[in-house]
């Protein structure tokens, strides 16, 4: 049996291809299970070539997680059109779908950030800030939430709650449907904002 001919790619293209493969593999396995050996085998290249592109296992993991975080931010971007709360619901739906499809990798990022890995914590915080800051963007139809120190604190807490709800639901739905989860997530932020709104 003959193996297919390999296409010679520019170094940046090859590195990007390997990162894309790493992100796909990370969707169904933990970061610890994503080894240089696994990626080399899946990519059909030598371990040495992977070390050439990434230096070491930790740098490889960091690069894959950064690419996955960038994908999360891009895939959950709210639409430009629509009412603020509808845009929030679309973004939250995309977040639930992303975590569902990439559960093992996302859980690895959360655990790595909580477990004291400084590089993963930095990537995690950058991604979380990107996801929450977009809630305060103003456009012609207004903001989802007014930008104040109090609402910034509230949105950060809501974000942590939303993440825990989605991860817990993905691990064990316990009779809660996807639509019920989405309704909880989309309605909880406006409800929390209502609590702190001046009476």
Count structural domains, the chain.
1
The predicted-structure confidence for 23-49, as pLDDT tens digits, reads as follows 998 888 888 888 888 888 988 888 888
CB-based burial, 154-174: b 16+ in 10 Å, e otherwise = bbeebbeebbebbeebbeeee
Q: Give the residue-averaged pLDDT of 160-188.
A: 96
Task: Say whether pLDDT at 92 is over 70.
Answer: yes
In a domain, 120, yes or no: yes
Q: What is the CATH number of the domain that holds 167?
A: 1.10.357.10
**163: number of CA atoms within 13 Å, CB side?**
17
Range of the domain at 151: 66-196
Residue 82's SS3 state is coil
Q: How confident is the model at residue 68 (pLDDT cuts 50, 70, 90)?
A: very high
Two structure tokens written together for 160: 């942590």
Mean pLDDT of the chain: 88
**8: number of CA atoms within 13 Å, CB side?**
0
In a domain, 146, yes or no: yes
């Amino acid at each position: 049996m003959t193996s297919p001919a390999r296409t010679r790619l520019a170094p940046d293209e090859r590195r990007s291809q390997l990162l894309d493969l790493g992100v796909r593999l990370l969707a169904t396995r933990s970061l610890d299970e994503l080894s240089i050996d696994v990626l080399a085998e899946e990519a059909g290249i030598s371990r040495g070539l992977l070390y050439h592109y990434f230096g070491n296992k930790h740098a490889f993991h960091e690069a894959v997680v950064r690419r996955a975080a960038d994908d999360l931010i891009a895939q959950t971007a709210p639409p430009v059109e629509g009412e603020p709360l509808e845009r929030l619901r679309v973004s939250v739906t995309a977040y639930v779908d992303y975590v569902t499809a990439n559960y093992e990798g996302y859980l690895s990022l959360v655990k790595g950030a909580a477990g004291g890995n400084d590089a993963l914590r930095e990537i995690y915080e950058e991604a979380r800030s990107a996801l929450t800051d977009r809630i305060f963007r103003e456009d012609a139809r207004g903001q989802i939430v007014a930008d104040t120190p109090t609402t910034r604190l509230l949105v950060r807490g809501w974000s942590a709650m939303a993440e825990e709800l989605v991860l817990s639901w993905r691990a064990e739905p316990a009779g809660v449907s996807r639509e019920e989860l989405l309704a909880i997530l989309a309605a909880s932020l406006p409800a929390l904002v209502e609590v702190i709104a001046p009476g």
